[in-house]
């Protein structure tokens, strides 16, 4: 079984809004959580979707999904209450699935961020395959800009950027590896990549692209909508799929 846990508990403080939850901000009139769910469904490799969000957002989230997601897909989409921080929200979603459905060693657990709504379904398929081979995988690409070590607002070292990759969500890990890492870790780690490395697993990098852009600031909305137009995603994501 492949399980997608979508983190959607953000308030959108950096975005500068408080009227609607961040995961309901529209791109081309469609809430970003719907873009997330549609791309996951179109990958045809995810069996179960958990959206982790604030309790007060449950009704508005359901309304958005009801308007766009076919009923044949909706039965395996569940809403779970989030926590004050990111990884505890993820663990809330994980515990929900484990208690409700049970989890086996061969299952793959995905972490999606709702604010990266344009993930290509093919990327999800590749991540599943690479997770089976390597135990964990994530999207990433080489660093383009210069990087520096900074202390007290001053640069004291400039590492070779060719040694570094930017990695982003979605990321995936085999359940048995995540379970083992959670058992030996004495603190919450910030990503599934960290949990994999924590027990000696080296996650596989799957190439990311501009569609993995994050919605953080208002100007990012214009970038994402331009990418939707450029890649004709409205046609791809919103034609009826069985």
> Which whole-number Å values give the CA distances from 96 to 55, 111, 192, in the listed order?
15, 14, 18
- Which pLDDT score, from 0 to 100, does residue 73 have? 75
> Which whole-number Å values give the CA distances from 33 to 63, 132, 232, 238, in the listed order?
11, 27, 18, 14
pLDDT digits over 38-92, tens only? 999 999 999 999 999 999 999 999 999 998 887 777 778 999 999 999 999 999 9
- Which pLDDT score, from 0 to 100, does residue 242 have? 45
Neighbouring residues of 187: CB distance < 8 A, sequence distance ≥ 6: none
Regions in the chain scoring below 70 on pLDDT: 10-19, 236-242
Rounded-to-integer distance, Cα 96 and Cα 225, Å = 33
- Which pLDDT score, from 0 to 100, does residue 238 have? 60
Domains annotated on the chain, with CATH: 2-238 (3.90.550.10)
Rounded-to-integer distance, Cα 195 and Cα 147, Å = 25
- Which pLDDT score, from 0 to 100, does residue 146 have? 93
- Which pLDDT score, from 0 to 100, does residue 240 have? 47
- Which pLDDT score, from 0 to 100, does residue 17 have? 57
104 SS3 class = coil
- Which pLDDT score, from 0 to 100, does residue 75 have? 79
Neighbouring residues of 16: CB distance < 8 A, sequence distance ≥ 6: 217, 218
Rounded-to-integer distance, Cα 138 and Cα 205, Å = 5
- DSSP at 203: P
């Amino acid at each position: 079984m492949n399980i997608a846990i979508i983190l959607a508990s953000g308030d959108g403080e950096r975005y500068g809004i408080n009227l609607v939850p961040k995961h309901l901000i529209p791109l081309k009139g469609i809430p970003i959580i719907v873009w997330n769910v549609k791309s996951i469904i179109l990958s045809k490799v995810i069996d179960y979707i958990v959206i982790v969000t604030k309790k007060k957002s449950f009704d508005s989230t359901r309304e958005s999904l009801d308007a766009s997601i076919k009923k044949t897909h909706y039965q395996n989409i569940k809403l779970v209450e989030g926590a004050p921080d990111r990884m505890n929200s993820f663990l809330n979603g994980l515990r929900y699935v484990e208690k409700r459905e049970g989890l086996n060693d061969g299952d793959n657990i995905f972490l999606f961020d709702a604010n990266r709504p344009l993930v290509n379904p093919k990327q999800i398929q590749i991540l599943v395959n690479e997770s089976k081979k390597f135990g964990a995988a994530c999207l990433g690409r080489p660093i383009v800009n210069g990087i520096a070590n900074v202390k007290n607002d001053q640069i004291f070292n400039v590492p070779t950027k060719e040694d570094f990759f930017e990695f982003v969500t979605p990321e995936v890990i085999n359940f048995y590896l995540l379970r083992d890492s959670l058992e030996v870790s004495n603190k919450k780690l910030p990503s599934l990549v960290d949990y994999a490395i924590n027990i000696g697993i080296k996650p596989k990098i799957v190439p990311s692209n501009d569609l993995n852009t994050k919605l953080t600031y208002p100007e990012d909305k214009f970038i994402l909508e331009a990418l939707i137009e450029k890649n004709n995603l409205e046609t791809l994501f919103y034609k009826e799929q069985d």
